[in-house]
Structures are given as C-alpha cells and as structure tokens.
Structure 1
C-alpha cells in the first residue's frame, strides 16, 4: 500500500441543500443572545436533506470554540473520495478484519455525544448511526485506490444518552491535507432506515500533532506539508471542529465531540 498523492477533497466544502438551522437560531433556541449570538453569526452552516437517507444535516460541537454549548451549528464538510460503507459495527476500529493486523500508532479514544437542539436545552439523541473513517499513521486509507482491508473504519449507533465511543489511533498525514478524521451521522427510524445524513471532519491541535508525529511509526513519513491554517477545508470553519484532546503520546489521548443534529 502506498501513501496517497495530492488529496482531491478540497472541493464542494460546506455545500448546502437548503437551510435548516443557523447558528444564531440555535443559540436563540438555547436562550442565548447578545454577545454569544454575535459570535455565532458566522453564517448558516447546516443542511437539510430531501428523501430519507439523502444528504443534509446540522452539526454542533463544543470543540474549538470556548463558552458555547454543544448544540451550536457547525459546518458540514465534504465527504471526500475515501468513504466506503463497510457496515462494520464496532467500537475499536484499529484492526483489519481481513488480516487481523492492528494499526500502529498513539491510541485515541473519540466519543461522540449526539443531541437535538431544543428550546433552552440539548436533548440526547439515540439511534444515530455514526460512521468514522481515517488514514493510518503513514497517511494510508484502507479499501481505496488499490489498497485492501478495512482498518480504521467503523460504525456505531448512539445509545439512550446519545453517546458512541470509538477506539482508534491518532491520524497521520498525506499531501495537501491537515490531520483530520472523517465522520458521517445518519439518524435511524424504528425500522433501522436512515432518515437523513450529515457529513463533516474533525481536526487536531498543531502542538499535539507535532508531539505525536515525532514518534514512530509516524516519523517514518516525515514532517507534514500542510498545517490547519493552510488546509483549504479547515479554513472553511475547521476551527469549529477542532478537538480538545487530553492525554499524552505515551499513554494516548481522549476527545469528546458534541453534535447537535436536527434532521431525520
């Protein structure tokens, strides 16, 4: 398997399919106004899907912007060319089920907390299918561009508290992109069918990435050529999807991302 060339998902970032919920409206529903509303008035960064299972959604998160609750609208971002619906229901996505090999790297525990934006509250939202996919420590994705396997891919359904936790590794890098993880959210109805879809990406603090990538196996790849500030996708709202991570390169990291989802 070879690391990928220049990444093509610089296009169609924040592509919109109608307006569902603006950040200003989300804050008003939560009973916040004034300075908070002004801070959040960066634009409508939500989508609404057409038929069940179609594109659309709205996202929120506490990461990257301090002083805001979880149910604040965040930007949708391009799916990119490396999504594969493997239908792998699992919490630990490190192993390649075709070979049994476990992806090397610094451990990362990533917890999603899904909610619905309601008046003065973020209500936990169960039965949301969460897909996660990412590159390994050397910038390689499984099952695309001639690569085999299914490592670093997996899905889970949120529980009654709206939570789903993935065990993975800190991502590596490849040319043209900052370090990131892709995710997709699909609310499910009682029959298990998707009633909407929202797709975006999560990013990492540069100082933490520097520490992680100085270690093996990441160091074999060399120094990354694209920082967050130089990534065309990150520049379209990536600071609102920047994870706050705790831990160390020796023991691993943990991050929680709150997602307000008002579709489906």
Structure 2
C-alpha cells in the first residue's frame, strides 16, 4: 500500500527568514496594501448605497412644498342619536361636518302636525326669502326684536371645504317671547324662510335674535337640501341641525332689549353642557355650531357660521 509521507510536526520555516526587520518590513507593507485597497473600496460602496437610500434620487436641497390635506374622525353623539363627524384640515383652514340633530317639535316641514293637520310651510308660496321677520300666510305681522343679519356658508368637508352651491337651507327659530309661528303662535308664519346657496356656498337671512324658553339653550334650527326642488319636506333633508347662540350675546341682549324679559330667568336656568341637544357634542362640534357675532343691542348684529356636510 502506498503511504503518504507523514505531515511534519511543525510548519516549515520561511527559507528567507532570519534577515532581520529591515528586510521583512517592506514585504509586510506590500502584503497589507491590497487589503487596505479592498477595505477602502467596500467603504465607498457602502457609503454610496446609504446615500442612495436616503436621497430617493433627489438632491438633498429639495424642499417639499406640496399642500397636504388630512382628515380625522371625531365620534360624538347628537341630540337625536350618535353621530360621527370628520374634520378636514387644509393649508387655508378647516371645517367640520355638523352633526345631525333633532328638528324639534315645531319644524313645519311636513313631518308633523299643527292644530290637527300636517304643517308644511316649505310648499307655501313666498317661503323662499331672505328677510324672514314678517308673516306671509294671512297675517303680515312683523316679529319684533334685536335685528340679526346671519350669513351661512355651506361647505363639503370631503372636498377640502369647497363651497356647495345650489343647495337650499331652511331656517326657523322662536320669537323673542319663545313662541314658534304656526304652533304656539299659530296665526303667524314669521321667522321661517328658505334661501339657495350662491357660488360661494352662502345664504343670508335677516331675522331677530331668538328668545330663550325654559329648558333649552337659545338656538336656531336649520335643514339643508341638495336643491330647492328637494326642499318640499324635511324627509328630503341631507342635514338637520341647530346653531347654538353665544352666551356673551345672550347675556347682553336679554336684560337690555325690550320684549326679552322672560328670557333672563330662562337663560339663567340652562347650560350648554346640560342641554338635551348640544350637551353631548364635542368641543369642535360646538365651536362650528356657534355663529360668530359682531354688533350691539342698540344697532343690531351681524353673524356668520360655516355649515359642513360630508358629501
């Protein structure tokens, strides 16, 4: 059998070893140089890959100037059941979808009865009007009180707060004594009217500051319809809600203006947090549902609010 020679007990010595450090140093440096070049190349490749991953192909001096739009959900419950609202924020502002609320017992929109018969003022001639202070069905009496010119802007919260043109808004509220026309003031038809939104999504009503009756925070009712043709019954409304009147204006009007004496005591007995409509709304909803006012008791007020609908 052929045998391989046995492996030496120790590796062979370098035949050239023994010439001293002066002779070995150049060889060691020569062997190390290629390794340094490889390490340097690997570092360069790794650095380039890292820069490519961070830069996304663009210059590090590039600034993102795009406009962002964010939508957040806010859950809350309205006076007629729970609701979910969305807040849309853009670089130019924000809007929130108004919650659905009850129309209350005095809508005169064809959904209930008054004096034993169905009351639907929406089908009456003359309901489309801006100045709603006078009655227009039989009586022509004018509701007395502190004048208010109220502008409402209708926007789409699902389209960056874009204005909604061509929509009909039906608005109604009580008089300064807390009575509603066609119901507790049965012979009157004042303080009710319909307007159609213009290209800016706006409607304007000339009315009076409502009184405060027992058990409710001072408020204004409204219904929104997709068109004037659809505004024939409350069942067609895309939104039924209410506006809360600012506490500071109520406190200024009720003690000082003629005809509001009953409102002083009634207002002292109510609160937003305890109201059966506004009490369960979020802070953002209440802010949107409260019009901004400017003016005085003696000169009257101008007011405005934005109504958001998620279309």
TM-score by structure 1 length? 0.71
Alignment gaps of 5+ in structure 1: 1-28, 47-55
Alignment of 1:48-63 (within 5 A): none
- Greater share of strand: 2
Match of 2:179 in 1: 140
Q: Displacement, 1:227? A: 2.8
CA distance in 1, matches of 2:68, 2:76: 17
- In 1: Cα distance, 2:174 partner to 2:95 partner: 28
C-alpha contact (below 8 Å) 2:176/2:209 kept by paired residues: yes
Alignment partners' CA distance in 1, 2:68 and 2:167 = 22
Does structure 1 residue 43 correspond to structure 2 residue 43? no
Residue by residue over 1:171-198, the C-alpha shift from the partner in whole angstroms, topping out at 9 and shown as x without a partner, is 1011110100000001128xx3366521
Task: Say if 1:70 and 1:260, in contact at 8 Å, map to a contact too.
Answer: no
Q: Structure 1 residue aligned with 2:170, among 102, 127, 131?
A: 131
Q: Deviations over 1:73-118 (max 9, x none)?
A: 2322111110013131000000012322211111111111112234
Aligned to 2:286: 239
Match in the other structure for 1:258: 306
Shift of 1:242: 1.6
Question: Bigger radius of gyration, 1 or 2?
Answer: 2
1:32 aligned to 48, 70, 88, which one?
70
Contact 1:59 1:261 in 2 (8 A): no
Alignment map for 1:10-159 (pairs within 5 Å): 31-32=69-70, 37=72, 41-43=73-75, 69-85=93-109, 86-87=121-122, 88-97=127-136, 98-119=138-159, 121-145=160-184, 147-159=186-198
Residue of structure 2 equivalent to 1:49: none
Match of 2:230 in 1: 193
CA distance 1:61–1:74, shift in 2 (3 Å): farther
Change (3 A) 1:107 1:96: same
Contact 1:111/1:257, CA 8 A, preserved across alignment: yes
Distance 2:158 2:176 in 1: 39
Cα distance 1:78–1:142, how it changes in 2: closer, same or farther (>3 A)? Answer: same
- Partners of 2:74 and 2:84 within 8 A in 1: no
Give distance in 2, aligned partners of 1:136 and 1:61.
35
Structure number with higher helix proportion: 2
Over 3 Å off, 4+ runs: 56-62, 67-70, 193-196
Mapped partners of 1:180, 1:122: distance in 2? 24
1:162–1:59 Cα change, 3 Å:
farther
Cα distance, 1:100–1:193 mapped onto 2, change above 3 Å: closer
- Judging changes above 3 Å, is the alpha-carbon distance between structure 1 residues 186 and 59 closer, same or farther for their aligned structure 2 residues? farther
In the TM superposition, what is the alpha-carbon distance from 1:57 to its structure 2 partner? 11
Distance 2:273 2:154 in 1: 28
Structure 2 residue ranges without an equivalent (≥5): 1-66, 110-120
**Alignment partners' CA distance in 1, 2:239 and 2:273:** 24
Counterpart in the other structure of 1:178? 217
Cα distance in 1 for partners of 2:207, 2:87 equals 22
Match of 2:271 among 227, 230, 238: 227
Bigger relative contact order, structure 1 or 2 (CA pairs below 8 A, ≥6 apart): 1
